[in-house]
A and B are shown apart, each in its own frame.
Chain A
Amino acid sequence: MRTFDYVRVENTSAAISEAAKPETRFLAGGTTLLDLMKLNVERPAHLVDITRLPGLDTIEVSTDVIRIGALAKMSKVAAHADIMDAAPVLSESLWRAASAQLRNMASIGGNLMQRTRCTYFRDPGAYPNCNKRNPGSGCAALEGINRNHAVLGISDACIAIYPGDFAVSLVAFDGTVLVRGKVERRIPIDEFYLLPRQTPNLEHQLSPGEMIVGIEIPRVAALKRSHYLKVRDRASYEFAAASAAVGIEFEADGKTVRDVRIALGGVATKPWRLRAVEEALKGKPIDEATLRTAAATAVDGAKSSGHNAFKIELTPKVVARALMTVGDIA
């Protein structure tokens, strides 16, 4: 690890002004940043410790929106009674991630900034060729061991997976990222993350000096009947082989879909909303066959790089099962 200056700030303005320095990173939970610094992937010259900024760890569940401060810990949000009641998918996507200790450390804002687990990205000493780290240097994963690389949203420059869970829920339910820099901005979560295309080094919409201060999720009916299904070899403490955040709202008949939300994790380069599958299901009464047929299109456009072909088989089954679960037909 390269050495750095460390400064702890007491208010958001100070944080943003500190961040104007080059090669600066905000340090919150540290669970991604310190890990990557030890790997020499992240090499900041300045660390701005924002963990003690006041007022950014609040959790509010009002009648029409859920607001979560950027410094709220994953564990606190996951265990928040109103969240568990109003938005099970948010709680589940949090407590099924990482471990209890990591969730006590990691902040919601930091969670959104989690970076890929691509083993080649994480091994700069052996693999200088990584377009995400060194633009234009190539991609070691394309023809390497790519069992846990993306099949959706990939490019010939990068197949690194977006590894998180919580943002998948946010994408399914149209969350908004609240950002403060020189100005305040609201960025729809689906636009927050960028496809790799030819610039996988650019992962999100934040500019240097901008800080996530919170997120908002509109309370829609489907959020109440929602679920996060995470499939993996190990029963816990593992990234998803494939996951789905889903929610459903029925018409008064209790079986016809009025609204449905579906997003994928563990298979794409960013949290992956399945709007086409959603549209295909709207207005239809659900049964297992209908769900499986619709879910089969979840991987339209997917492309295997070799070891990850199974994700293309697996994903529709995960989508179907998640929907069956919230539809009470599992």
Chain B
Amino acid sequence: MTNNKQLELNRRTVMKLGAGVAAVAGAGVNLAPNAFASEPAATKAASLGSRVSRAEGPLKVAGKARYAIEQKLENMAYGVTVQATRPAGRIVNIDASVAKALPGVIDVYTFQNTLKINKPTVYSKGGGATEEFTPIQDDLVRFNGMHIALVVAETFETATEAASLLKVDYEDGDAILDINDPEAKPMLIEPMGVAWGDAKVGLDNAEVKIDVTYTTAREYNVPMEPHATIASWENGKITVWEPSQWVGGARSVVAEFLGIDIENVRVISPYVGGGFGSKIGAHPHVGLACVASRQLNRPVKVSLTRPQTFTGLGGRPATRQTLSIGASKDGTITSIVHESWNETAIDEVHVEACNNVTKIMYATPNFSSRLNVVPVNTVQPGWKRGPGENPSAYALESAIDELAYALNMDPVTLRLANWADVDPSNNMPWTTRQLREAYAAGAEAIGWWNRNPAPRSMREGRELIGYGMAAGSYPMIRTPSEAKIVFHTSGQVEVLSAATDMGTGTYTILAQTAADYLGVPVETVTVRLGDTSLPRSALAGGSQQANNLTGALVKAAENARTALVRLAASDPKSPLQSLKLPELTFEKGTIRPTRRPAGGISIAELLKAVGKDRLEIEGNTFASGATEDMKNAADRSFAQLKGATEGSVSAHSWCAQFVEVGVDEDFGTIRVKRMVAAFDSGRIFNPKLAESQWISGMVMGLGQTLLEEGYVDQRDGRTVNANFADYAIPVNADIPEIQVISVGIPDMQATALGGKGVGEIGVVGVAPAIGNAVFHATGRRIRSLPITLEKLV
């Protein structure tokens, strides 16, 4: 069933994605348009770099932040999807008669009464979709848990009951259910391989070698807000309220689903209850909601149940990596040989770029890395925070720890001994790499040098104590974007962008940026986000958004200053009209004569004087001469995305993670006692929010390391723990005190304002740091995640 044509990916796109298009951190603010928030959140406080509290905080703590599917629409119908219970084969028949007979059921949609949903264009082919699969278009069963029907009813209760009443007959087909299935047919993703020197010879000649295999489990993003949507078709146009990391992408996908002009689609994402990479693409259930709404000519709300969020969209695929590292006895790495495999859907390709950290972290004269995908009958996997970098760092940084013990060398010392002065994969200079500072700060904070390095040498009562550390990186990607500033005669300043804020802090830092660059009080700034009717923005993914948007907003602010001064000098009704352009200065929100500081007028006064209600000024970071098509592409695809090596310099965020664990010597239960990490994310726009992002990543990393694993029944491919009781994510009691330290410096080669990525770097390196600490505590090296108690008992 595997379609090898799928492998004909656009090479350039693949390379870019290999460089790290990614999941996202945290959640965000939505200074929402009036349509969906009664009161836009306004920030109260200081300038860029200060610890301003989250702008939308007052709305969120009061329960007044209205998320996508919390819009109140008249005549709403409720849709519930039904998912397959077999992994492969065909659906022979779906008998919906009992369901349809239930009073209140409006209709049941299956492949037998097809509502057409067109295939969307996936990102690797220039579109905005993360999977090509569209439900109810044919009888083919691709994986257990795929949507096979939508039941629509007048109430949620009726729709839910009716969904349980469908009788589905299957004809089973052969399924591949596991990355290790001997029947599986791995496919090499040649363009994403990397090699230099002669890795085999380097390894053969090495004095010390380690040769290891590391695996990670299928993981799920499971943001607390389940994936859900409201689609409202009206007079040939559709409005979709969708929790989204990327309304521009969702808009293009919805237009494709429906086969309508994109101008007739509006996507609104007021607040987003977490995404972590799983809300970048509009998933297949969105298509179901859209076509049902068009069919019924009324709003339809489709919410996935929590179990359905495990198979209605994909999480991080299971991975396997082999890694051989050769070194001389003094600890100089002479060769790294790496190969990885990850699951992908049976007829689609998702590559987990497991060499993203491997290829840049250490200086080595010889290197080779190959990536493979293994098609299995699963939902198409997706991006989960730090995609690529996360498993890459897990294998590499665990193996480096193994090498350190093989060499009888301190792990930090070994890392410093193999410091890469330039990006070893391309010999480009780093923009900034404050990783030595990170090692020093993290080691100091955790008390690294006080540990007894011998395995199983430290204990407290019945608990074995271990310290572990690991490094990590995340590439700095960028996409040109635009922003708009609207000045009002009331003195209010609006900042507009289509971007969404999932808790990442976009609302807050944009208000800070506007206040800073316009010299106006931050409380006069209102930020509106999350709506395709607003200025174009790339996705909130890949840790790029803050830098994309602050860059665009600063351009808008600069344009505004120029425009305001020009207006003051030129408009006949301007009080400053007597002065020439060079004689005017813009300062602290006022336009004043350069030689007479006290003679200025505020922006609002100027607008009133010249008789304007409002003044709209745009700014952007598009290349000069960019066409509308290129600008739209930045908003709706990855075509304008610039990788980490744009400009022949290599730009990345860096981290050093340190942990202390306690392992019960009888039970094998691991409790992380302390976590410390030092981060180089360049200039920090708001330390309070950045720290939250880093901690957030570290907590997610702890869950990945100790708890999270999708259990797939090998008889039928069903994820049997698809819920929050059986797929355990960390609870409060799992999380110790966490200390985060910023060691970054402004990186003006990386971005306009000197910031680097924040959201994803926090999760990178956590798993190897904990795994290494478990080895230090117990003397046992566990090479598969998660490290649940049965692996140590």
Direct contact of A and B (CB under 8 A): yes
Question: Once the chains bind, are A234 and B707 in contact (CB under 8 Å)?
Answer: yes
Residue B725 is within 8 A (CB to CB) of chain A in the complex:
yes
Report whether A2 and B734 are in contact in the complex, using a CB–CB cutoff of 8 Å. Answer: no
Partner pick for A123 among B664, B706, B720, B789, CB 8 A cutoff = B720
Name the residue among A148, A236, A241 with the largest chain B CB count within 10 angstroms.
Answer: A241
Q: Which residues of A contact B734 (CB under 8 A)?
A: 234-236
Any chain B CB within 8 A of the CB of A330?
yes
Minimum Cβ distance to chain B for residue A233 (Å): 5
CB distance from A280 to the nearest CB of B (A): 20
CB neighbours (8 Å) of A125 from chain B are 85, 164
Q: Please give, as numbers and ranges, the residues of chain B lying within 8 Å of A238 by CB-CB distance.
A: 725, 728, 731
Contact of A233 among B669, B712, B732 (CB under 8 A): B669
Q: How far is the CB of B710 from chain A (nearest CB, A)?
A: 10
Q: How far is the CA of A38 from the CA of B161 in the complex (A)?
A: 9
Given contacts A117-B725, A123-B720, contact A321 B713 (CB under 8 A): no
CB-CB under 8 A for A317 and B160, given A145-B711, A231-B789, A233-B788: no
Give min CB distance, B134 to chain A, whole Å: 23
Enumerate B685-724 residues with CB–CB distance to A below 8 Å.
706-707, 711-713, 715-716, 718, 720-721
- Can you list 6 contacts pairing A with B, beta carbon distance less than 8 Å? A38-B160, A119-B720, A144-B720, A234-B707, A313-B793, A330-B461
Once A117-B725, A144-B713 are accepted as A-B contacts, the answer to whether A231 and B667 lie under 8 Å apart by CB is yes
> How many whole Å from B94's CB to the nearest CB in chain A?
13
In the complex, whether A133 has a CB less than 8 A from a CB of chain B is: no
Assess the B793–A314 pair: CB atoms within 8 A: yes
Query: Which residues on B sit within 8 Å (CB–CB) of A147?
Result: 711, 790
- Specify which chain A residues have a CB less than 8 angstroms from the CB of B669 in the assembled complex: 231-233
Please report the C-alpha to C-alpha distance between residue A235 and residue B712 in the assembled complex, in whole angstroms. 24
Whether the pair A233, B728 counts as a contact (CB closer than 8 A) is yes
Q: Is B746 an interface residue (CB 8 A)?
A: no
Q: In the assembled complex, which residues on chain A have CB atoms less than 8 Å from the CB atom of B715?
A: 143-144
Contact assessment for B667 and A237 in the assembled complex, using a CB-CB cutoff below 8 Å: no
A1 touches B731 (CB 8 A): no
Residues in B with CB closer than 8 Å to A310 are 789-790, 793
Q: A310-B790, A321-B462 are in contact. Are A236 and B733 (CB under 8 A)?
A: yes
Most buried by A among B85, B713, B731, B733: B713
B667 in complex: contacting residue of A126, A317, A330, CB < 8 Å: A317
- A233-B789 in contact (CB<8A): yes
Q: In the complex, which of the residues B462, B668, B721, B731 contacts A236, with contact meaning CB atoms closer than 8 Å?
A: B731
In the complex, A197 Cα to B59 Cα: how many Å? 56
| Cβ of A318 under 8 Å from chain B | yes
In the complex the two chains form, what is the Cα distance from A234 to B733 in whole Å? Answer: 8
On whether the beta carbons of A330 and B462 are closer than 8 Å, the reply is yes
Smallest Cβ distance from A315 to chain B, in angstroms? 10
CB neighbours (8 Å) of B164 from chain A are 40, 125
Closest Cβ neighbor of A141 among chain B residues: B720
Chain A, interface size category, equals 35 or more
Check if A3 is an interface residue, CB within 8 A of chain B.
yes
Check A120 for interface membership: any CB of B closer than 8 A.
yes
Which B residue sits closest to A144, measured CB to CB? B713
Q: Give Cα A288 to B768, complex, Å.
A: 35
B666 located at the interface, meaning its Cβ lies under 8 Å from any Cβ of chain A in the complex:
yes
Hey, what's the 0/1 contact readout for B140-180 against A, CB within 8 Å counting as 1?
A: 00001000000000000100110010000000000000000
In the complex, the chain A residue whose C-beta lies closest to that of B791 is A310
Measured CA separation A234–B730 after assembly (Å): 7
Closest CB of chain A to B148's CB: distance in Å? 12
A117: chain B residues at CB < 8 Å are: 725-726
Complex Cα distance, B725 from A91, in Å, reads 23
Tell me whether B713 and A314 are in contact (CB under 8 A): no
Please indicate the chain B residues that have their CB under 8 angstroms from the CB of A143 in the complex. Answer: 715
Give the 9 A-B residue pairs with the shortest CB-CB distance, closest first: A310-B790, A235-B733, A236-B733, A317-B666, A126-B85, A119-B720, A145-B711, A235-B734, A234-B728
> Which chain B residues border A38 with CB–CB below 8 Å?
160
Contact (A314, B667) CB under 8 Å given A119-B726, A147-B711, A233-B706? yes
Within 8 A of B (CB), among A96-130: 117, 119-120, 123, 125-126
* B756 within 8 A of partner (CB): no
User: Are the CB atoms of A126 and B711 closer together than 8 Å?
Assistant: no
Binary contact track B728-744/A, C-beta < 8 Å → 1, others 0: 10111110000000000
CA–CA, A232 and B721, complex, Å: 16
Cα distance, A117 to B720, chains bound together (Å):
12
Binary CB contact string for chain A from 136 to 151 against chain B (1 if under 8 A, 0 otherwise): 0000000111011000
User: In the assembled complex, how far is the CB of residue B153 from the closest CB belonging to chain A, in whole angstroms?
Assistant: 13
B671 close to chain A: CB less than 8 A: yes
Q: B720 to A314, Cβ gap below 8 A?
A: no
Cross-chain contact B728 with A1 (CB below 8 angstroms): no
Instruction: Specify which chain A residues have a CB less than 8 angstroms from the CB of B733 in the assembled complex.
Output: 234-237
Chain A residues, CB < 8 A from B720? 119-120, 123, 144-145
List residues of A (1-46) whose CB comes within 8 Å of B's CBs: 1-3, 38, 40
Which residue of chain A lies nearest to B728 when distances are taken between CB atoms in the complex? A234
Q: List chain A residues, Cβ under 8 A from B157.
A: 1, 3
Contact B462 A235 (CB under 8 A): no
A139 to chain B, nearest CB (A): 13
Assuming A231-B789, A236-B731, what are 20 further A-B pairs, CB within 8 angstroms? A1-B160, A38-B160, A126-B716, A145-B711, A147-B711, A231-B669, A233-B788, A233-B789, A234-B728, A235-B671, A235-B734, A236-B732, A237-B731, A237-B733, A238-B731, A241-B789, A314-B789, A317-B793, A321-B462, A321-B667
Rounded to whole Å, the gap between the CB of A96 and the closest CB of chain B is: 11
- In the complex the two chains form, what is the Cα distance from A271 to B163 in whole Å? 36
Q: Which residue of A lies closest to B672 (CB)?
A: A235
Alpha-carbon distance A231/B667, docked complex (angstroms): 7
Closest to B670 in A: A233
A1 contact set on B, CB distance < 8 A: 157, 160-161
Q: Which one of A2, A120, A310 has the greatest number of beta carbons of chain B within 10 Å?
A: A310
A126 contacts which chain B residues (CB < 8 A)?
85, 144, 716, 718
Q: B789 — nearest CB in chain A belongs to which residue?
A: A233
Q: Which residues of B contact A232 (CB under 8 A)?
A: 669, 789
A321 touching B666 in the complex, CB below 8 Å, given contacts A119-B721, A123-B720, A145-B720:
yes
- By beta carbon, the residue of chain A nearest B160 is A1
Bound state CA distance, A122 and B390, in angstroms?
33
Chain B residue contacts of A2, Cβ below 8 A: 161
Q: Nearest A residue to B716 by beta-carbon distance?
A: A126
- In residues 548-599 of chain B, which contact A (Cβ within 8 Å)? none
Minimum C-beta distance from A162 to chain B (A): 16
Q: In whole Å, how far is B180's beta carbon from the nearest beta carbon of chain A?
A: 16
Query: Smallest CB–CB gap between B488 and chain A, Å?
Result: 45
Residue of B whose beta carbon sits closest to that of A313: B793
Q: Which residues of B contact A148 (CB under 8 A)?
A: 726
B793 touches A233 (CB 8 A): no
- Minimum CB–CB distance from A242 to chain B (whole Å) comes to 8
